[in-house]
Structure 1
Amino acid sequence: MYFAGHGLRDHDERLYLALAGANTDQPEIGTVHYRTLRNVLRQAGYQARYRITVLDCCYSGLAGAMSTIAAPTRTDLARALDEPPAEQADDTDDYGDCVLTSAPPTKPSFAPREAAFPEFTGELIDILEHGITGAGSTLSMDDVWQRIWRRLRERGSPEPHQFAQNKVARQVHLHNRAVHLEAARPPMSPPSAHRSSRRSPEVDPREWTPGFMRRVTAYVV
């Protein structure tokens, strides 16, 4: 499930995903409570081994019900994801949820005016389309999140968060297009003294087109 838009929070630090009629002064109006949406997704996808949620909105870190940057314990994850506690679940279980958020629980999420997509989504699409050089033929969700985290942190943007149950972040894999693009690239010809010095116009690889969700499904292994 992918959502990009406005995120609102109430006095009890609960996350709401804004619809067209949202009221910033009353987050309960014109919004979808994230917990309600999460429950619907789990009921509809109860047979799915993995469930991936991407939230690109302000305060999206509230989806993990955590407020610290420190690595969460298995008990923390169980509480955040409403799963059985550690004594009832095995960390080696090959199932569960993975939630990627564009911002911490108390921070906004950026959407530059000149960009085609919000900042977090733009970085995600860039990785899906161009891959990560030297990372192998496939990328785990953890690989993708780590790259986005580093890029946004270097830029001084709010740090994205990842909340994953069991080993989901390492079990779900995407095609690494960097490998295929490198293999398809023709060999460079030696420079010619008669070649014109005029440079061809460069195409900005970050000029994306619509169809984000269709791309995501094409990259999943």
Structure 2
Amino acid sequence: MTNADHESAAETNTADLMAGKHITLDELATELSAIELRLRQLARAAEVPATPVELADIIDSLRSTAVTVREKGQHMGQLARIVDGEVPLATTFPTGDPWGVAARTSDRQDFGGPAIVPTIWQLLKLATDAKRPGAGETTTYPEAMDGLGIGWESKAASARRRRERNAAVAAEVLTLTCEKCGATDGEQCKTAKGWPADQAHVGRQRQAEANVDERLGYLGDNPVAVPGAR
């Protein structure tokens, strides 16, 4: 189990981080800047604690973390300018492969498929390449991504939703009666010899998945939202 498997209510309450429905890159940059400052303030305050304890290692760690957070904030600030269209970008990667809308019809099997939605590091590289002498034609993020973004979800969000679905399915399984072994509410499925098993029988598992997907509005374990689902 990782920390990501145990999200607290406070962690999921992100409303105060953004003005709209979704956080902007500019808001991310500002919030990271505030966190960096707070870490440096904590490091300074820890130099003279109320109780005489040497906190040098903690202070160094706080300041080191602050440097990392500052770098992330600077990257978010650069990215905000890029997505707003202020920064010219190369139209292709150094390999000659396109990105954005232009990548929809490309064949990049050696690279895991078209880079339709580029990563932050790819965008920063595209911005750097656009400044090189003889860079040639350039584009902007809004131009290159025009028509994309509908229904897109980050890998992190998709992974989190998959974990949530799996946890819901595991709980749902125990509410169903298994037609194969007769396990009832709260009981695990059993082998032919009566041994309890962590893995539910296929029919019970499949019904639990169907119930959860209908309830959450998912289509399979991707999970993809189903329009109009309750």
Q: One fold, TM greater than 0.5?
A: no
TM class by smaller structure: under 0.3
The structure in which a higher percent of residues are helix is 2
Task: Tell me: higher relative CO, structure 1 or 2? Use CA pairs within 8 A at least 6 residues apart.
Answer: 1
TM-score (normalised: structure 1): 0.23
TM-score (normalised: structure 2): 0.23
Determine which structure has more spread, i.e. the larger CA radius of gyration: 2
